[in-house]
Amino acid sequence: MDLAALNIFRAVVRENGVTRAAAKLNRVQSNVTTRIKQLEEQLGTELFIRDGRRLVLTPAGETLLPYAERLLALADEARHAVRENRPNGRLRLGTMESVAASRLPALLARYHQRWPDVALELETGTTGRLIERVRNFEVDAALVATPLDPGALHDVFEYVPVFREELVMLTPRGHRPIRDARDVALSTLIAFERGCAYRSYIEKWYLECDLRPARVLELGSYHAMVACVAAGVGVSIAPRSVLGLQQNVDDIAVHPLGEFDAIDTLLVWRRGHFSAALNALREQLLADSNLAANSAQPDRIAQPVV
């Protein structure tokens, strides 16, 4: 198996077909089809079956995919290792939406100016989803909230804390003060989908009072959440840092929750899967960090999670 064939195979899977994969790889469709057939012949098994207009992975294809991801990631790592130690190439970064909105815009602008040879790809998701994407080599690193279960990072990851966030509860204006979950007057919790670390924290907070929200309205952006809270649909939780970017804030009340005033945002990557581009990003994040302890102890950042 050659790396080019594995890269084409992965592209067909990711792009859900030959046409989009060919466009992504700047190849003609016939070349992509031929390389897939050659790979199948080399392996002695079919990797795809056609279901109408769709290509679906066979069990053999499902087995090959994680190996292809690992081999291609290892090849990228080898290329970085033999080049001069200057940031270049592709860097795939996952991030929570809150970080993308409040912490990254100016930071990434400076990063691009300083390291123009790095092609940085950004995607957003929940902490749980992003950790899995790092685990599966689908992104090189991710900015996630400290998980409620620390064991989620105790196998193949390294990490460094880069920001500290205060989580606050958002309610319609005029809501009574909130000390614990029994003071919440509305029965709907507005939150991201499961896998969001902040959601897991607030659900645990409810359970500590033997309560659960009657319903959870799952939304995909803080703009939508704040608008629903302002309209009286329910309550939500968010990092205080994102509130300055939102509309309708005059129609909501912000309630500090003391036990959630120090939730660290972590830059997470797979142990051994590091590059000059990622190191440059790590240094940029630490330079902008609101964690004085990190800047005072820079040598801790390379330590593995144990």
Q: Of 171, 137, 151, which is closest to residue 66 (Cα–Cα)?
A: 137
Q: How far is CA 183 from CA 55, 73, 169, 202, 236, in A?
A: 52, 50, 12, 14, 14
Q: Is 51 helix (H, G, I), strand (E, B) or coil?
A: strand
Domain residue extents for the chain: 3-82, 89-164+264-302, 167-260
Residue 240: how many other CB atoms lie within 10 Å: 14
278-304 mean pLDDT? 67
CATH 1.10.10.10 fits 3-82, yes or no: yes
52-57 mean pLDDT? 83
Tens digits of residue pLDDT in 98-152: 999 999 999 999 999 999 999 999 999 999 999 999 998 899 999 999 998 877 7
Report pLDDT for 249.
82
Task: Transcribe 115-157 into DSSP letters.
Answer: -TTEEEEEEE--HHHHHHHHHTTSSSEEEEEPPSSGGGGSSSE
CATH node for 89-164+264-302: 3.40.190.10
CATH node for 167-260: 3.40.190.10
Report pLDDT for 59.
93
Grade residue 231 by pLDDT with cuts at 50, 70 and 90.
very high
Contact in structure between 184 and 255 (CB atoms under 8 Å): no
Contact in structure between 107 and 59 (CB atoms under 8 Å): no
Q: What percent of the chain has pLDDT over 90?
A: 69
Report pLDDT for 83.
62
